[in-house]
Amino acid sequence: RRAHHAAGAMNIVLIGMMGSAKSSVGRILATKMHRRHLDLDSIIEEQCGLDIPTIFARFGEPYFRRLEAGAMFEVGNFSLPAIISLGGGAILNAGAMETLKLTGKVVYLEATPEHLLLRLEKSAQKRPLLEGAPDRLLRLTAILTARRSRYEHYADLVIKTDAKDSVDIAGEIIRWWETHARGF
């Protein structure tokens, strides 16, 4: 399946670890750029009628990854340019990522495990891959180490997000988009 987009009608796809601010940056970008924001985790929750932690607990990670892949193909076929915030592990599905990459530009919101943990501890949201981990920092570091090369592989732009707020990150993306990505 290839997504067909008119020239200039390009998506911005946000990737990065849990806690890297993909959803909040996505909402800000969508508002500032007058685009629809498609948050993959929210789409999956809506389709299933269950939240992500419940899906993981009841059906396991492999089942969730299948749902995620289906949702990735679905948003890749959305006809208007959108801001798409992916879940942290979405990059594990190479086929769906390659398809999404054809629809626009991929921005990797990179953060250190320490900053990710700070953000996650402020959030009320449950993170299934951290549940029950005796050392959450160690667990985050291991996940990031396993995924880093994939994040970098898909990224057209990497933004280091440590100590930056979502508005500043969104501003950086917009400035880059206006100078580098617009004509693609």
pLDDT tens digit string along 67-85? 999 999 989 888 789 999 9
Rg, Å, the chain Cα set: 16
- Name which of 107, 116, 110, 114 is nearest 173 in CA terms: 107
Q: Cα separation of 95 and 174, whole Å?
A: 27
The percent of residues above 90 in pLDDT, for the chain, comes to 74
**Angle, in degrees to the nearest 10, between helices 52-59 and 40-48:** 60
How would residue 182 be classed by pLDDT, with cut points 50, 70 and 90? low
Encoded amino acid at 15, one letter: I
Q: Cα separation of 163 and 170, whole Å?
A: 14
Tens of pLDDT, residue by residue over 15-67, are 999 989 999 999 999 999 999 999 999 999 999 999 999 999 999 999 999 99
Tens of pLDDT, residue by residue over 124-165, are 777 878 888 889 999 999 999 999 999 999 999 999 999 899
How many residues belong to the chain? Answer: 184
- Name which of 155, 141, 144, 135 is nearest 88 in CA terms: 144
Q: Could you tell me if 15 and 86 are in contact, meaning their C-beta atoms sit under 8 angstroms apart?
A: yes
Q: Could you tell me if 48 and 67 are in contact, meaning their C-beta atoms sit under 8 angstroms apart?
A: yes
How would residue 97 be classed by pLDDT, with cut points 50, 70 and 90? very high
